[in-house]
Amino acid sequence: MTTNHDRAEIGVIGGSGLYELLPDAREVAVSTPYGEPSDPLVLADVDGRRVAFLPRHGRDHRHPPHRINYRANLWALRSIGVRQVLAPCAVGSLRNDLRPGTFVLPDQLVDRTDGRVGTFFDVGAVHVPFADPYCPAGRTALRATCGDLGLAVVDGGTMVVVQGPRFSTRAESQWYGRQGWSMINMTGQPEATLARELALCYTPIALVTDLDAGIDARSAVSQDHVFAVFASNVKVLRTLLVAAVPALPARRRCPCIHAHDGITLPFALPE
């Protein structure tokens, strides 16, 4: 059971490098009806806002993308008061103009995962709207923060989420690109869907780490390269997220809060 001291209003789902330098960070263990989250939550104050950080893969990267307990992660965040989630992630580029080191604010999503548990609602007729998967207020805050920091960001793009843990074949990569999709990732689903089912504001910020296999004859993704590019940009990403936290609205007025309008939920959500 959490106390008021264990509450937070904003969640950041990302690696441990995003919070390890915050001086007052403290761990909070949270259990959920869906099992344990990827790691204990780490709470810290960022410019007067209480933030819960959660490494989606675990701080030692022990959870591969298809084995992450996405339901426990999102439920744990909501149960301590989180209503807005920032979700930094690594992506491969499906376009020649999106080079490694580029930051992107996706605005659309295509789900190509298979076999992941993608809903909290196993009984009843519960169909949440998902036409626009990401929070418009969160995207506005991140876009404005990038401008304030002088950080170039590509505004918009479709992220296709694949099952993993393998990377794509050249034929798959070329097919994804022909659909007009911009970037490829392994963790964005069902994370975004589950956030919407909990009426959370969910906003990804994508860092391009590589050119996917089908971009040209030379490109072939490797884990070492992906990890190296992400690590080299973690300081910039940390600066961006810390600056974006106070830019998020203190009171939500976005469509995300209406996700349950007209729906009878089969169980009570944590407050």
148 is catalytic: no
* Angstrom distance (rounded) from CA 215 to CA 211: 6
Cα separation values, 77 from 51, 113, 243, Å: 10, 23, 21
Evaluate whether 156 touches 95 at the Cβ level (below 8 Å): no
CA distance 52 to 45: 9
Distance CA 258, CA 271 (A): 16
Minimal CA–CA distance to 70: which of 191, 172, 245?
191
Catalytic residue among 114, 210, 224, 261: 210
122 given a catalytic annotation: no
Residue 29 exposure: Cα atoms within 13 Å on the Cβ side: 2
Among residues 212, 216, 224, 261, which one is catalytic?
Answer: 212
Backbone angles phi, psi at 34, to 5 degrees: -110, 15
Name the residue type at position 184.
I
DSSP letter for 239, please: H
Residues in the chain: 271
Active site residues: 210, 212
